[in-house]
Amino acid sequence: MSVKSAVLGYPRVGVNRAQKKATEAYWAGKISEQELQTASQAVRKERWEAIKAAGVDIIPSGDFTLYDGLLDHSFNFNVVPERFTKQGLSPLDTYFAMGRGRQDRAKGIDVAANEMGKFFDSNYHIVKVDHAPTTEFKLVRNQWLEEYKEAKDLGIETRPVLFGPITYLALVRASRDAPADFQPLDLLDKLVPVYVEVLKSLKEAGAQSVQLDEPILVTDKAEAYGDLYKKVYAELAAAELPITLTTAYGRVGKSLDYLKDLPIASLHLDLNREPQQLDAALEALKPTGKGIELGLISGRNIWKNDLAASKKLAEKAVAALGADKVVVSTSSSLLHTPISLKVETKLTPEQVAWLAFADEKCEEVATLAAALNGEENEAFQKNTKDIAARREFETTSDSAVRDRVQAITPEMSKRKSDFSVRSKVQAEAIKLPKFPTTTIGSFPQTKEIRVARAKFGKGELTKEQYEKAMEDEIKSVVDIQERLDLDLLVHGEPERNDMVQYFGELLNGFIFTQLGWVQSYGSRYVRPPIVVSDISRPAPMTVRWSSYAQSVSKKPMKGMLTGPVTILNWSFPRADVSKEVQAKQLALALRDEVIDLANAGISAIQVDEPAIREGLPLRKEDWDAYLNWAVESFRLSTSGVEDKTQIHSHFCYSDFDDIFPHIQALDADVISIEASKADLKLLDTFKEFGYKNDIGPGVYDIHSPRVPSEQEIKDKLAAFVKVIPAERLVVNPDCGLKTRAWKETEESLTNLVNAAKWARENL
């Protein structure tokens, strides 16, 4: 009888981003489908062997994906909207088109991607395929069986991982043609037999258990799902394959009342975020004979786990249920973390001792299980010393930064006049036409830009040579915008590697990895900075580039900054200081930058907050505390300028219904939102609540390589004016253009500008 260890999931990128490179090579036509599949198989083998080598007992399979796990489920269940089946594409190309769209004019192929959304409160994006009352499920590919057998052939026993059926249907979307009262959860009776088929096939192949991920259980809505869970899991139990039900990203709350009675073998809880839920869970599970999986090792951050503290918590479970009923595991899949610290050669030994990436977290899980089984080995002892050293470091701080936060007054978060006054002053100062056109900030990052940045980083270019290269690129981008006849220009951000990393590198308080890649969506990976100490701005960060851009154009220029909440949410924040304190430190640094940009003659400044909705706690009772400091942080960043400076902000994938008063409270002069794939549902919200400031709904999807037609954009603008006053509308893409190629960018923006000019005459 012993405590076992488990990992809920693992990064998909592969060492040296092998999977990303193979996928993008396939898209570019450089490798065949078979070559892509061979590369993917190698990455899966690498993942399983790494987890096994760490000493983990329960290894996941079926969590690998070429694009997105939720998309995999839809595709495998034959949920492929008709617009994709009409294109004459291969199954693999149909799958990719569902995630990123597809356009090939020569072959008559033109199909937009499915809607994307954020996965709970993470920066990972899911693909939300349309479901309708007529949707019929059929198992067209049993990915979970294939990968289980693939691992078994390598001599590795795994636990297959699927989204639970209720979470799956809760995350996808209703098709635009579905009746207003339809919700995908209405399809459960059709879907569950497919799950039973998968589970039976796994049992027949020799699987010992299955992991069903049900993170929807940590939301308020799930507390009303008791009858659904009892019915569905009774049917799943007929497959006679033991089920571990996982509940990552928060607390299960009152749902525990029915979870304890489900016919499952074990219940997983996120005890890294919500350790206080353990006592109630143990009390509920003890009479049932069920096991518990303790999510003690964070799947969301990169800080080394305090194994001694985790051991004390786990010992309570062992005492209550017995060692054979306890598994220690990660709090969620490790897809939110980089792969390994072993490749990080530039971090100091002190910094390495603070951190744990996916491979190290696997080792932590195994070490914790060993300690609970009576073996506090060398790794456990080293962990205790490393935690003590980090705690000692945390006691030192930049007193000037903390004093400045303490000195914040309410007046610092207020513009001098309200929007009705500011908008008139700005109209006179900036002189934009009706339906003004602009972009969200970034323009294509070409190979030449990346090469110049790499050479500068290696010392192969002098500072003067690098800055001249960036100036040449900025001049080119400005010239293109002028030729396209855009109204409010940007400098294009050629000097920026990433919208968060760039600022982190120029601020005090951050450290960076070399290969700490984390998946955002599809083949898009980012390297989140790590906040290790108090944050401050030693010098201006963007003024030099925006000023140069303004000097080569007579048109107004928009300065581009990433907001404090987004920088924090898209970094790995400190664990010892509240997010509120860290956000306000960032806000003060950005406030100085905004003032410097305005003083340099930049008439519009965009402070992007695409992650403000993402960071919203999953339980409504926790919302106000977060939203109050998030809104204050944005306003603190932007309120130090005169009325003539037009403040913009940008938001992605945001469901604004529940937090609309806080969006209004940001008091940005112009907000731009992702609306191209979400129909008009966001705009209906703005109409319902009476949004008074200017708004730029995205008129086309930049996450897809397809070029929208001029008529397509005209149709969107005509629809927009039915819900938003024409004088309040700004015309822009739905996000930055960094990941796009120049040809499609110019074609898309040409159509955008022409549609805006048409709107001025006709709307």
CA distances from 437 to 603, 730, 735 (A): 15, 6, 14
Between helix 143-153 and helix 188-205 the angle, nearest 10°, is 20
Q: CA 40, 41, 42, 43 torsion: positive or negative?
A: positive
Q: State whether the Cα torsion 284-286-289-292 is positive or negative.
A: positive
What is each CA distance from 625 to 113, 120, 278, in whole angstroms?
36, 18, 24
User: Token match 């990992």: residue?
Assistant: 7
Query: Which residue numbers belong to the known binding site for L-methionine?
Result: 440-442, 493, 608
Enumerate the β-bridge partners of residue 210: 243
Of 550, 540, 545, nearest to 467 by C-alpha is 545
Classified as helix, coil or strand, 414 is: coil
The single residue listed with the structure tokens 């020799």 is 206
Q: What is the CA radius of gyration of the chain?
A: 26
Residues in the chain, how many?
Answer: 763
Q: Taking Cα atoms as reference points, which of 664, 671, 636, 659 lies closest to residue 405?
A: 636
Q: Cβ contacts of residue 21 below 8 Å, gap of 6+?
A: none
Report d(CA 185, CA 172) in Å as an integer. 9
- The total of other beta-carbon atoms located within 10 Å of residue 55's CB is 15
Q: Can you read off the two tokens belonging to residue 346? A: 């530039």
Residue 462 structure tokens: 């002098």
Instruction: Give me the amino acid identity at 365.
Output: V
In contact, 755 and 713? CB cutoff 8 Å: yes
- 8 Å CB contact between 438 and 649: no
Binding residues for Zn(2+): 650, 652, 674, 735
Q: Is 268 a catalytic residue?
A: no
Nearest-angstrom CA–CA distance, 643 and 639: 9
Binding residues for L-homocysteine: 440-442, 608
Helices 69-76 and 91-100 pack at an angle, to 10 degrees, of 130
Write phi, then psi, for 526 (nearest 5 degrees). Answer: -125, 160
Cα distance between residue 721 and residue 715, in whole Å: 10
Beta-strand relationship, 125-128 and 130-131? unpaired
CA separation for the pair 306, 309 (Å, rounded): 6
Show the tokens assigned to 574: 């400190």
Residue stretches of the annotated binding site for 5-methyltetrahydropteroyltri-L-glutamate? 20, 123, 570
Which residue positions form the known binding site? 20, 123, 440-442, 493, 570, 608, 650, 652, 674, 735
Contact (CB, 8 A) for 11 and 46: no
The DSSP output letter for 536 is E
- From 336, 491, 662, 703, the catalytic residue: 703
* Residues acting as catalytic residues: 703
